[in-house]
């Protein structure tokens, strides 16, 4: 579906005819607008990006919910994605647009800073266990950082032209150059996230229980914060801020495999990849030939789901 649907529709037979010619489309510098060219240079990179970014955000969301023991937590809702966007805009405002390699590092710093602030808010009283405290703190932080990002972009419009992807997340701007830079970082982050599953299984029982079972709680928290900051920050640097993936897919995973994070994390990654790609396809066809950005499609999916979870939160406060 991702390769065949869009402003130019390809039937199954047309897609089958075009796929063998994709290799040839890469080998020539002349792009004639054939179906093979469309697949090779437009749809294939955004499909790869959708799979990798969706998996990264799904795993990041499951990790955040596990570390906070809060089923309403999500990198977008808690302001982690907004932190990455703000850091990139702040750097560009004062130091100029960072190089492609620097973009990921700056986005990571912003995501890590926002994560530290949210966890600091959550450490007040019983905030990590209280969904309302954590969500309200994250929502306030996200609103502040988003407003600050917009203000900086208005004050320096030339920066906005080069970092316009920080406004609304989309897969349409992805190319092979950006995939070559950010893709390996996301894949490493995904592997690191999957490796935290055993300790996360113990942390969700509570810090005291985890410590009694031999887990270094502080080290595990810091590693977890670093990993989902890498995942969220790099995904934001590649495609812009995308919300609700990390909220929705961990719930789907838990409904299938219960509470074992050795299964929740990989299933959240798979579900996130499929959901993001499906949302991207829907955005291409719902107003064809115009295109609705994938972030906006996910808002229509995520907001009703968020309301549904809030209504059930009394029975879902703890995982």
| Tens-place pLDDT, residues 69-123 | 888 788 888 889 899 989 988 888 888 877 877 888 999 999 999 988 888 876 6
The average pLDDT across 139-149 equals 90
For residue 170, the model assigns a pLDDT of 85
Residues 190-205: pLDDT tens digits? Answer: 999 999 999 999 988 8
Q: Read off the pLDDT band of 207 (50, 70, 90).
A: confident
pTM: 0.89
Average per-residue pLDDT in the chain? 86
To the question of domain 12-67+77-316 being in CATH 3.40.50.10600, the answer is: no
Categorize the per-residue pLDDT at 167 as very low, low, confident or very high, splitting at 50, 70 and 90: low
CA gap 18, 212 in Å, rounded:
59
The predicted structure's pLDDT at residue 318:
45
Specify the pLDDT at position 183: 94
Reply yes or no on whether the pLDDT at 168 is more than 80: no
Give the pLDDT of residue 29: 60
| Domain boundaries of the chain, sorted by first residue | 12-67+77-316
Please check the confidence at residue 59 and state whether its pLDDT lies above 80: yes
pLDDT confidence bin for 206, thresholds 50/70/90: confident
What is the structure's pLDDT at 130?
A: 59
């Amino acid at each position: 579906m991702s390769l065949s649907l869009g402003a130019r529709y390809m039937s199954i037979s047309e897609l089958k005819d075009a796929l063998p010619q994709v290799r040839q489309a890469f080998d020539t510098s002349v792009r004639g607008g054939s179906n093979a060219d469309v697949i090779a240079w437009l749809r294939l990179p955004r499909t790869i990006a959708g799979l990798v970014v969706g998996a990264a955000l799904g795993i990041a969301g499951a990790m955040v919910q596990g570390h906070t023991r809060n089923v309403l937590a999500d990198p977008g809702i808690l302001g982690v994605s907004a932190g990455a966007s703000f850091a990139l805009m702040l750097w560009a405002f004062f130091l100029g647009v960072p190089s492609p390699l620097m973009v990921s590092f700056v986005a990571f710093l912003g995501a890590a800073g926002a994560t530290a602030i949210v966890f600091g808010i959550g450490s007040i009283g019983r905030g990590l266990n209280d969904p309302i405290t954590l969500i309200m703190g994250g929502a306030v932080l996200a609103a502040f950082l988003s407003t600050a990002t917009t203000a900086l972009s208005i004050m320096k419009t030339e920066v906005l032209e080069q970092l316009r992807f920080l406004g609304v997340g989309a897969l349409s701007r992805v190319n092979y150059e950006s995939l070559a830079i950010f893709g390996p970082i996301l894949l490493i982050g995904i592997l690191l996230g999957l490796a935290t599953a055993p300790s996360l299984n113990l942390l969700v029982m509570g810090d005291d229980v985890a410590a009694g079972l031999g887990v270094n709680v502080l080290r595990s928290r810091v590693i977890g914060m670093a990993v989902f900051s890498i995942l969220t920050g790099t995904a934001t640097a590649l495609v812009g801020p995308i919300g609700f993936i990390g909220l929705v897919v961990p719930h789907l995973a838990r409904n299938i495999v219960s509470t074992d994070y050795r299964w929740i994390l990989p299933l959240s990654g798979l579900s996130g990849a499929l959901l993001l790609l499906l949302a991207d396809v829907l955005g291409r066809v719902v107003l064809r030939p115009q295109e609705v950005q994938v972030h906006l499609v996910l808002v229509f999916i995520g907001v009703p789901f968020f309301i549904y979870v809030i209504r059930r939160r009394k029975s879902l406060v703890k995982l």
